[in-house]
Structure formats: structure tokens, C-alpha cells
Amino acid sequence: MQVQIRVEWLSESALSVGSTADAQGLGVDKATARDNRGRLLIPASSIKGRLRHECERIERTLGGFVCLPPRAEQMCPLAHPQGQCCAVCEIFGSPWRPAPLRLSDGTLLLASLPEPIRTERELRPFDAQVRPGVSLSRARRAALGERLFFIETSAPNAGFRFQVTLEGELPSTRHRALLLAGLRCLSLLGGGKSRGLGWGRVVRWTVDGVEADEAHLAALIAEGGYG
Ligand SMILES: [Zn+2]
């Protein structure tokens, strides 16, 4: 079945979606990812990784077999007991199976911004901030020569909304339901979880061209057996 889902993801804390491309010019170790017009961006690969993780968690909770990315030999169909693909690989693909689902980058919705920063000029002074951190060795629980680093994050509490489109030919309504359930649990994007960065949620849904409220969404998820 052909599926098209469009969501708006509201960033509820500062967001750290790293890019080292611009970092040097800014004098930071990691800059926020941006499109070619300087607007904040969440790369599709970053969204796909987190979303896949949420779908794996849900499928496993319900007792379904789920393989163990990212190592190729632990993924379907090699890792599958019947040499097939798990529901998650049937949505997101595996090293041996192209992903039926395509995701767009998360693009910043300018309409969600306050008036002064909605213009096309350089947004960086308004939409980002630089934070210091110290590199820690997890094994030794000690600062690595107390190396101080700086990352650029999006401004906190700015209410940034990012639009993401997901589309493709999925095997069944069950797969669509798993995908929707995963999106509903998508509360984290980018890095810096331990520093409280990257929290948010989907606040607006369009499924196959129809704007879906909470009841419609719940019905679609239940129809696929994930309700
Ligand atoms: Zn799999």
C-alpha cells in the first residue's frame, strides 16, 4: 500500500543536530546543521535512526522478532530465524534490502517562528547559542585532560517546528500502524540527550492527504494491531 505521512515535530528544548561543516568558521567543535539558505535542518538520516529505534522498541515490546542493527550480520534476513525480514526492516530496509520508506529532511517551518526571525537573512544570531562541555571518558569517569569543547545548539524554548515527509510502498496497514506508533513516540532527535538536548514531539499529522486528529490516529494504529 502506498503511504504518505507528513508530520510537524515541535522542538521543546534546545536541539543539537551536529554538523562539523561550518564549525571551524564559528570557532566551535560542532555547529547546527543547516540548509543552503542558513535555516536549521534535521537531516533525514538523523530522523530515520531515531524513528527506527522507536519502532524496534514497540515491535519488541509486542513480542515480534526484531533484528539488531547496525551490524549487517545481525540484521535481516541473515539474523531472521526463517530467513525473512522483520517488520522494522520491511519499513526501513537492511543492508540487503532497500528501504521502501523514504524520509525527507526535517525542514524548519518559518511560519512557526516569531516575526523578527522569519526573514531570509542570516538567522544564526537569533536561532542558536553556543554551549560549553567537557569531554569525559566513560570508562575512567574522568575528564580527558579536561578538554573543553563547544557545541552550537538551536535556541531553547524557541518553539521551532520541523516538517518531515515519509512516503513509500509498505506491505500492509500493520506496517503503517507501526510507523505511526513510532512517530508518536519520537520524543528525541539529534544528540545531547544526557545534557537535556533534543526533546520534542509530533504535534501535527497528515496521513494520506488527510489531517489526522488524535482519534483518527489512534484508530489507524489500532487497525494495524498496535492500539
Ligand atoms: Zn530486521
**pLDDT tens, 55-110?**
999 999 999 999 999 999 999 999 999 999 999 999 999 999 999 999 999 998 87
C-alpha 69 to ligand 1 mean position (Å)? 8
C-alpha 180 to ligand 1 mean position (Å)? 18
C-alpha 75 to ligand 1 mean position (Å)? 5
Query: Which cell numbers in the block locate residue 167?
Result: 512516503
C-alpha 86 to ligand 1 mean position (Å)? 4
Per-residue pLDDT band for 148 (boundaries 50, 70, 90) equals confident
Per-residue pLDDT band for 15 (boundaries 50, 70, 90) equals confident
C-alpha 88 to ligand 1 mean position (Å)? 6
More confidently predicted of 192 and 5: 5
C-alpha 78 to ligand 1 mean position (Å)? 9
Domain spans of the chain?
2-223
- pLDDT tens, position by position, 107-145: 988 776 666 555 555 555 567 778 777 665 555 555 455
Contact, 108 vs 162, CB < 8 A?
A: yes
CA separation for the pair 36, 45 (Å, rounded): 17
Global pTM reads: 0.86
Instruction: Tell me which residue of 32, 51, 83 sits closest to 181, measured CA to CA.
Output: 51
